[in-house]
Each structure stands twice: as C-alpha cells, then as structure tokens.
Amino acid sequence: MTPNSQLTPFAMLNVLGLVVAAAGIMIQYVSGVDYPTIPPGPIILLAAAAVVAFGPWSWAVRVGLGAALFLSIGGAIATLAGNGFSETLGDPGEVGGFAGAVIQLVGLAIALPAGIIAAKHSSRRAGVAGRPCGAQ
C-alpha cells in the first residue's frame, strides 16, 4: 500500500489527528486507565486513518470524519457518565492517564474540523472525473 499522494492538506490533517488520538488512547491504556483488554478506540482510529490515507474512493475522507465524530461523542458520553476518561482529565496527578487524555483530545480536535473540511471539499470535487477523493 502506498499513501494517496493526492490528499488535500485537510485530509492529511485528519489522518494526523486520528493517529495522534489513537496514540493518546494507547498512552492511557498503558498507564492503567480502565479500558477493555483490547481497546477498540485505537483500532477504529487507525483503520479510519488508513482508509483516508490509502483509499482512492470518493467517500474515504468521510470515514475519517465519522471515526473522529464517533470517538468525540463517545468521549463526551464517558466524561458525562464519570468513567475513567473524565477521572484522568480531572486528576493531573495521574500523569500518564492525564497526558494520554490530553493527547487524545488534541488529536480529535485536529481530526474533527479537518475531517469536516476535507469531506466538504471532497463532495465538491466528486464530480471531477478521474480524481480520487480529496484530490486537488
């Protein structure tokens, strides 16, 4: 597999944000934050990043947007429910968990708006014959 060299800067930012968010979740996991044995978040984020980065399909950037949105909503629900995510954000003394949560939020804060803009641009360009999704 080779990266799609035709990605817009926003699609590339979406991929970067998804990878950073996945790294943040893994930092939390390694730090002992309460996650399932195999946390689904990094799998979802990295799979979506791969689809955006390597997929020439017109809908590929929407997968990245969907993953960022899905994990953002899940994080908000976990925070409101008082699960481990909110506890790590509320306790900077838990350095690994806190740092991982901040890194995850930064990644999602990059991926979500970049995904929105990339999807908007790809829908405009979808009618251009011969150009993969996100092509300039």
Percent helix, percent strand, percent coil in the chain, to nearest 5: 70, 0, 30
Of 52 and 7, more confident = 52
Identify the pLDDT of residue 126. Answer: 58
Q: Structure pTM?
A: 0.82
Which pLDDT tens digit goes with each residue over 71-113? Answer: 999 877 876 766 655 666 667 778 888 899 889 999 999 999 9
Torsion angle (degrees, nearest 10) of CA 43, 46, 49, 50: -90
Sign of CA dihedral 41, 46, 49, 55: negative
Identify the pLDDT of residue 129. Answer: 44
- The domains of the chain are located at 21-125
Q: What are the Cα distances from residue 126, in Å, to 35, 58, 85, 105, 130? A: 39, 6, 38, 30, 9
Q: Indicate the average pLDDT of the chain.
A: 84
Residue 130 pLDDT exceeds 60: no
Exposure string of 108-127, with b = 16+ CB inside 10 Å and e = fewer, is bebbbbbbbbbbebbeeeee
Distance of alpha carbon 73 from alpha carbon 122, whole angstroms: 24
Contact 120/43 with Cβ under 8 angstroms?
Answer: no
